[in-house]
């Protein structure tokens, strides 16, 4: 033991550890203390923290669940209040609402609001549909033709005004592109009007509602809520249906005129072929005798006029 102490002092003197020994001792003491305290306290502290973490999660989940229940209750209350107010405040079967329902039946749009709930109302709806749809289709077709004629005359007048009378012919048809442009303008105009009294709708929603309406699809996902403007909505939709019918009439007239032009060309071609065949056959039958010239001319003219009546007003030389 004495030898160990002597050797330690010899090493201490060689390394000059006299001044640094207290510092080394303090660091070592600190490390040993840290190891001891960590071994004694770390596990208990970890358990307490885990317990607090679980308690916090439980409390947070409880608060979230309670908040969700409160929000759900609030939304249910607001929804119930809205339903009750709609049931109490105003009936959908006002004059405007009833006219809107009647229009849905014979236009076959059918938004699903309002609906007939009584047996008598349902039976009346059936007979009203059976009688109203044919009447509406006839009126819609006539109005579409009237619009088509009006815009066709207006188009010809404007065209003759700016391009001159020589460029306008009786057979000029109203352009299909302009007809659909008028329909699109009316769609945008009606959508803008819807945005004025349907404050919850955007412009795109209004355009969607109008297109679904004039196509008579009537999905019912977007329905007007302003009961006082039901009649105005219906008038805009009816005018849109009439313009759509006008577009169909313009397409039909254009196709008919095109088929007429094709028929006229075929008839002219057949007439020219008949004339050529007749001339060839007559020339082959006669040998250009001078004595038979008059007889040939008279018989040729008669046969030619019989085969081609259009030539009766012209002279054959």
The 10s digit of each residue's pLDDT in 126-169 is 999 999 999 999 998 888 888 888 888 888 888 888 776 545 45
Angle among Cα 311, 316, 317 to the nearest 5 degrees reads 160
Choice among 95-99, 144-148, 191-195 with the minimum mean pLDDT: 95-99
Sequence-ordered strand ranges (E) for 155-211? none
Query: What is the Cα–Cα distance from 182 to 151, expressed in whole angstroms?
Result: 10
pLDDT digits (tens, 9 = 90+) for 26-58: 667 678 777 777 787 778 888 888 888 888 888
Q: Which numeric CATH code is attached to 95-285?
A: 1.10.287.70
- Compute the distance between CA of residue 6 and CA of residue 272 in angstroms, rounded to an integer: 144
Find out whether 112 and 138 touch, Cβ atoms under 8 Å.
no
pTM of the model: 0.58
Half-sphere exposure of 129 (CA within 13 A, CB side): 12
Domain boundaries in the chain? Answer: 2-87, 95-285
145 C-beta neighbours (distance < 10 Å), count? 17
- Which distant-in-sequence residues (6+ apart) come within 8 Å of 181 by Cβ? none
Would you say residue 265 has pLDDT above 70?
A: yes
| Of the listed ranges 153-167, 176-190, 194-208, the one predicted with least confidence | 153-167
Q: How far apart are CA 35 and CA 51, in angstroms?
A: 24
Q: How crowded is the C-beta side of 259, counted as CA atoms within 13 Å?
A: 6
């Amino acid at each position: 033991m004495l030898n160990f102490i002597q050797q330690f002092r010899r090493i201490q003197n060689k390394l000059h550890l006299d001044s640094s020994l207290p510092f080394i001792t303090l660091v070592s003491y600190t490390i040993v203390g840290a190891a001891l305290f960590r071994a004694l306290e770390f596990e208990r502290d970890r358990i307490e923290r885990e317990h607090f973490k679980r308690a916090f999660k439980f409390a947070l989940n409880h608060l979230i669940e309670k908040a969700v229940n409160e929000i759900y209750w609030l939304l249910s209350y607001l929804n119930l209040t809205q339903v009750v107010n709609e049931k109490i405040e105003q009936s959908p079967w006002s004059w405007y609402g009833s006219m809107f329902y009647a229009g849905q039946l014979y236009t076959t749009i059918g938004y699903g609001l309002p609906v007939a709930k009584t047996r008598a109302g349902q039976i009346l709806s059936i007979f009203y549909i059976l009688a109203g749809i044919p009447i509406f289709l006839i009126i819609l077709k006539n109005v579409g033709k009237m619009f088509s004629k009006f815009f066709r005359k207006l188009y010809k007048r404007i065209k003759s005004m700016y391009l001159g009378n020589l460029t306008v012919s009786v057979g000029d048809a109203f352009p299909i592109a302009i007809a659909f442009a008028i329909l699109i303008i009316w769609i945008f105009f009606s959508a803008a009007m819807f945005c004025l009294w349907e404050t919850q709708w955007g412009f795109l929603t209004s355009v969607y509602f109008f297109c679904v309406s004039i196509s008579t699809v009537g999905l019912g996902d977007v329905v007007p809520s302003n009961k006082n403007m039901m009649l105005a909505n219906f008038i805009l939709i009816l005018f849109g249906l009439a313009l759509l019918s006008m577009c169909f009439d313009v397409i039909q007239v254009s196709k008919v005129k095109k088929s007429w032009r094709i028929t006229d060309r075929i008839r002219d071609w057949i007439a020219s072929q008949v004339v050529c065949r007749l001339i060839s056959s007559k020339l082959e039958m006669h040998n250009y005798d001078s004595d038979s010239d008059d007889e040939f001319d008279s018989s040729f003219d008669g046969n030619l006029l019989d085969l081609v009546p259009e030539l009766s007003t012209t002279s054959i030389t």
